[in-house]
Chains A and B, each alone.
Chain A
Amino acid sequence: EPEVTQTPSHQVTQMGQEVILRCVPISNHLYFYWYRQILGQKVEFLVSFYNNEISEKSEIFDDQFSVERPDGSNFTLKIRSTKLEDSAMYFCASSRIGQGQETQYFGPGTRLLVL
Chain B
Amino acid sequence: QQQVKQSPQSLIVQKGGISIINCAYENTAFDYFPWYQQFPGKGPALLIAIRPDVSEKKEGRFTISFNKSAKQFSLHIMDSQPGDSATYFCAASKTQAGTALIFGKGTTLSVSS
Name A residues whose Cβ lies closer than 8 Å to a Cβ of B: 4, 31, 33, 35, 41-45, 48-50, 55-56, 58, 91, 95-97, 101-109
Contact = CB atoms under 8 A, between A and B. Distances in A.
B55 to A, nearest CB: 19
Interface string B69-113: 000000000000000000001000111111111111110000000
A56 B100 contact: yes
A41 B105 contact: yes
Contacts of A55: 98-99
Contacts of B43: 4, 91, 106-109
A101 B97 contact: yes
A49 B103 CA distance: 19
17 contacts: A43-B89, A48-B98, A48-B100, A56-B99, A91-B43, A95-B98, A96-B97, A101-B96, A102-B93, A102-B95, A102-B99, A103-B46, A105-B46, A106-B36, A106-B43, A106-B45, A109-B43
A43 B102 CA distance: 8
Contacts of B34: 102-103
Interface residues of B, number: 25
Contact of A109 (B36, B42, B94, B97): B42
B101 A104 contact: yes
Nearest to A40: B106
The B interface is mostly helix, strand or loop, or mixed, namely: loop
Interface in B20-36: 32, 34, 36
Contacts of B104: 42
A115 to B, nearest CB: 21
B100 A102 contact: no
B74 to A, nearest CB: 18
Given A43-B89, A102-B32, A56 B98 contact: yes
B37 to A, nearest CB: 11
A50 B100 contact: no
Nearest to B97: A101
A35 B49 CA distance: 19
Given A48-B98, A108-B42, 4 more contacts: A33-B100, A42-B104, A42-B105, A43-B89
B97 A95 contact: yes
